[in-house]
Structure 1
Amino acid sequence: MERRRLIGIGVGAGLAALPAWWALRWAAGGTGDERRGGDWHTETAPLERAFPALGPLTDARWVSSRDNDRDLPSPELVISGYARLAPGRLAELTKAHPFVSDGPAKGFTSWFEKPLRDQGPEDPQWIRSRELDREGDGHRTNLWFDRASDTVRFWALDPHG
């Protein structure tokens, strides 16, 4: 009985400290997201490593489930966003793989994807190749392409797996 009481007191103290920590951080002007100039990442190198079939990328806007937009980020790594392919790369991909008209089933609905809303191409006509998507062994990658803008929209669970 004494052990349960001590555990309860410890848990209660920890939960009481979280709002105080958050309030102090907020009052100091920090949101936990100071490392990025905008609300998304713009580096292309991590995406080129995660999606080697896309080749070099010229521009990117992406977010991660491990971005600190809230106090308890996800233990799973999910990346989501847009990237621009090098000129002519989408034409090469469409010659090498079968594509169908298919857009993402949903918008950016996860808590960490909020900054991506309204960031994609105007009136995209998404196409997709199941050959370029990956699934299995705890990871999943979905890629959608817009021919008019040479843009790829991606969503990947454990993309480096």
Structure 2
Amino acid sequence: MADLGRRGALVLALGGAVALSACRQGSSGTDGDKVRTDVAPLERRFTALGPLSDAHWLGIVMGSDSRVQAPGPTDVRVVGLARLRAGGVATLVGAPQWDFQPAEPDQPPGVLAQFIPKGARWVRSESFDSAMASDADHGTFSFDPGTDTVYFDTINPSPASSSGP
């Protein structure tokens, strides 16, 4: 009888470990280390940038490295680079309402560092950043006019209301 009790406890412990492992693996909606190259999700969220190409970006579930997953809303960091149409950055940077100034972007996640243009001369505008983010979102957008590249680092960027979910 004592052996059956130990076996039962062992089976319960192993079953619980397997169940927790399965829940943990399924809790992340995105793979934070997988570099994505699709532009459609970015174009839906950053409509003011126009058509994009040559994208390299990550969707990182915030707090997914924690051992305990809390129920409720989840923040997602969308960070990466993309190329605007030829002359697109010059058009944005030249608009006087934005007041772009030289500013280096934050250090990108390691897997994206290889996509940063060599010799980039980054500019950024706090007013442009504010215009791109809704009340619940946060983001910074740095531009290199020489390569028509944007580096974006955002939290919960929402699709434009006219583009659907």
Q: Answer yes or no: same fold by TM over 0.5.
A: yes
Matches of 2:34 and 2:79, distance apart in 1:
13
Matches of 2:81 and 2:103, distance apart in 1:
16
Kindly, what percent of the aligned residue pairs are identical?
31
- Is 1:129 aligned to 2:125, yes or no? yes
Unpaired runs of 5+ in structure 2? 1-12, 160-165
Aligned residue identity for 1:123: G
Matches of 1:15 and 1:51, distance apart in 2:
43
Aligned residues: 133
Matches of 2:158 and 2:21, distance apart in 1:
36
Q: CA deviation at 1:18?
A: 6.7
Instruction: Give the one of 140, 143, 146 matched to 2:144.
Output: 146
Q: CA deviation at 1:49?
A: 1.4
Q: CA deviation at 1:136?
A: 5.6
- Is 1:91 aligned to 2:90, yes or no? yes
Q: Provide the TM-score with structure 2 as the length reference.
A: 0.66
- Which structure would you say has the larger Rg? 2
Unpaired runs of 5+ in structure 1? 1-11, 26-31
State the partner residue of 2:76.
77
Determine helix, strand or coil for the equivalent of 2:48. Answer: helix
Determine helix, strand or coil for the equivalent of 1:117. Answer: helix
Instruction: Give the one of 97, 112, 117 matched to 1:116.
Output: 112
State the partner residue of 2:5.
none
Aligned residue identity for 1:125: R
Q: Which runs of 4+ in 1 moved over 3 A?
A: 12-15, 18-21, 69-74
Matches of 1:90 and 1:130, distance apart in 2:
16
Q: CA deviation at 1:13?
A: 5.7
State the partner residue of 1:102.
103
Q: Provide the TM-score with structure 1 as the length reference.
A: 0.67
Instruction: Give the one of 27, 37, 41 matched to 1:42.
Output: 37
Aligned residue identity for 1:142: T
RMSD: 3.6
Matches of 1:95 and 1:158, distance apart in 2:
28
